[in-house]
Amino acid sequence: MVVDHDDHNKFTSKCIHVHRYRHSHWPARYLSVFLVLSTPQLKTSTLFILVSHSSQNTDPWAPIRQFSIQIESIFMSYFLSIAGSQTKFSKAGFLLRTTGSMLEQRAIELRAIHAVDLPVAEIANRDLTAQFIANTTDQVQQAAAILLLTPATKESVPTLLLTLLEQLPDNSFFNKPVLLFATGGLPAQVAVLERALRHELLRLGTTTIAAKVHIGSGSWITVGNDRPRLSRGAETEIAHSIEIVLKGIRLKECKDFSRELAKR
């Protein structure tokens, strides 16, 4: 029996791992079951591992040894989008909505911070600016992954996005996968955009962007006065980029979990 205590009423079971092994000193068989539960807000879970041993001559009601391990986990906390568009109600807004729906299907929350909301750094707004940066920094620290969303212009200098990123502390993105979504422009401009962001991303702790997606004008379908929606090809590309990031997170979680158990 495995019990994982969670303060949230709703949860998603992510993984059940059963491992059997024999101890070198006792002929008994040990059985340990690991149940990992997560919610979009779950940061710490308590894992109870019940280990019982028995042999041919052992009473079936032999004592059960119980161990409790605290596991710190960022897996499936939430994805944080930092958007550098001039307006929240452009196609970039619809892109965020579609991406959020894809993540929701995977029991992951998408949060968004818009660089356009950064208060102008004037004397009267200094406190507001500091509060905005502090809130952004806190959300970045708790996020499982970072999604950078910015237009790909002819100049390919994401001024709004860079203005916000420059305010964040060093290594804010360290150990977090980063996705880059570029809207508009041409596919070749994504590489130029990445070069424009490289210096700031290195300062923030990102050496490699995990996945890049270009959403050009041909990626949208508009019928009459209906809201624009992404083409099937664009949705597939976005879904693939999400899976790349999730695969990396799961691999890291498994390695961290194995190292934690090895210390016991």
pLDDT of residue 76: 55
Total Cβ atoms within 10 A of residue 203: 16
pTM above 0.85? no
Q: Which of 12, 18, 14, 46 has its CA nearest to residue 32?
A: 18
In angstroms, how far is the first alpha carbon of the chain from the final one? 20
Per-residue model confidence as pLDDT tens digits over 182-195: 999 899 899 999 99
Per-residue model confidence as pLDDT tens digits over 216-229: 989 999 888 888 89
For helices 91-104 and 232-262, the axis angle rounded to 10 degrees is: 50
Helix-strand-coil split of the chain, %, nearest 5: 35, 25, 40
149: number of CA atoms within 13 Å, CB side? 29
Q: Measured on CA atoms in the order 259, 262, 263, 264, is the torsion positive or negative?
A: positive
Amino acid identity for residue 181 in this structure: F
pLDDT of residue 58: 53
pLDDT of residue 156: 67
With a cut of 90, say whether residue 132 has pLDDT above it.
yes
User: What residue ranges define each of the domains in the chain, with the CATH number in brackets?
Assistant: 4-73 (no CATH), 79-251 (3.40.50.360)
pLDDT of residue 154: 72
Q: What gap in Å lies between CA 206 and CA 222, rounded to an integer?
A: 36
Residues in the chain, total: 264
